[in-house]
Amino acid sequence: MHCSQRIMMILLFLCSFLSACTSIVTTENNLGLLWRQASGEYRAVCLQTYKQALEAVRQYDPASASKPPAIVADLDETVLDNGRFHAYSRISGRPFSQERWDEWVRESVDPTRAYRVGAVPGAVDFINAVLGMEKGITMVYVSNRNDYQLEDSQKALRLIGVRNVEQAVFLLKSPGMKTKQSRYREVASRYEIIAMLGDSLGDFMGEIDPATGESEEVTGDNPERYQARWGNQWFMIPNPVYGSWTQPFAGENAAKDFFLTQCAEKCLNH
């Protein structure tokens, strides 16, 4: 093979490689959505997580408690499945906005609509089983839905089949709130938290610093620090579509070349 042919082959290889990388990057989030919405693996992981959580709750002995027991759960993508909202966003090409999200929260609880809010696999059976155990456990939903969305959030839970919604505690987001940590500390002061469930690291309450009374945020830098809690008190539902894990790639970092470099660096360093 002549030198010029060799160079041409190398260029062709590089072009096809770069084109493959570009398509991976541009479809990455769609692949995440497809995996969550259409794969049996996603459903199996959710069922596995909820089964393990139920086993942990079964082990709990209320006689040993000094405070009433509670389970803290996030709502979106932990109990409530909003996949149809995200799928429609992709199809219509309309990006996420607070206005569109509010519209979805309002309208997705209409039982006559074709596209309604759904249930994360295993969630409804888990909650109803916990309530049926007669251990006096309170479900506390700590969500970054806005506090004006309380009624629709309760409707959504009823729609997917959760029982005793009126007896649950809802701590939604008020103006000015950034993380969930202050709400978690409020729950911890009133209840013994026997399990936490979420789809994002921000759904879990880290160690409370006795000097400041502040709880550590669980982030991408420190999940290993809490190894003893995962699978025992903390239960994670996978969410490859959105969440705090995407923040390093958001905003101005979303530019394709930067994203590609970040992906490559992350992969190399893990």
Site for Mg ion, rule CB under 5 A: 74, 76-77, 199
Residues 6+ apart with CB under 8 A from 84: 108, 115, 116, 117, 118
The nearer residue to Mg ion, 202 or 206, going by C-beta atoms, is: 202
- Least Å distance, CB 163 to Mg ion, is 21
Neighbour-count burial for 179-203, b at 16+ CB within 10 Å, e otherwise: ebbebbeebbeebbbbbbbbbbbbb
- Least Å distance, CB 243 to Mg ion, is 7
The nearer residue to Mg ion, 70 or 75, going by C-beta atoms, is: 75
- And the tokens for 82? 């909003």
- Least Å distance, CB 76 to Mg ion, is 4
User: Cα(first)–Cα(last) distance of the chain, in Å?
Assistant: 39
- Least Å distance, CB 65 to Mg ion, is 27
The nearer residue to Mg ion, 76 or 194, going by C-beta atoms, is: 76
| Length of the chain measured in residues | 270
**In the Cβ-directed half-sphere of 253, how many Cα atoms lie within 13 Å?**
9
- Least Å distance, CB 237 to Mg ion, is 8
Partners of 146 in beta bridges? 173
DSSP H helical segments within 67-195, as ranges?
83-92, 98-107, 123-131, 150-160, 181-190
- Least Å distance, CB 14 to Mg ion, is 40
The nearer residue to Mg ion, 74 or 81, going by C-beta atoms, is: 74
Q: Do 59 and 136 form a contact (C-beta atoms < 8 A)?
A: no
Q: Do 226 and 234 form a contact (C-beta atoms < 8 A)?
A: yes
The nearer residue to Mg ion, 36 or 60, going by C-beta atoms, is: 36
The nearer residue to Mg ion, 137 or 201, going by C-beta atoms, is: 201
The residue whose two tokens read 């008190």 is 233
